[in-house]
Amino acid sequence: MNAPSVLSVLNELLTRESQSLAPRLFESTVFVSRLSVADHLAAQRIAEANARHGSALAGLITDLGGVPGPRTGNVLTADLHFQELHYVLPRLIANHEALIASYRLAAQRVTGEPTAVKLLAEILSQHEHELADLRGLMDKPKAKAS
Structural domains for the chain: 3-68+77-139 (1.20.1260.10)
Within 13 A of 20's CA, how many CA atoms are on the CB side? 30
Global confidence as pTM: 0.81
Note the pLDDT tens digit of each residue in 20-48.
888 777 666 665 555 566 777 788 888 89
pLDDT value of position 55? 94
Distance CA 14, CA 20 (A): 10
Residue 144, SS3 per DSSP:
coil
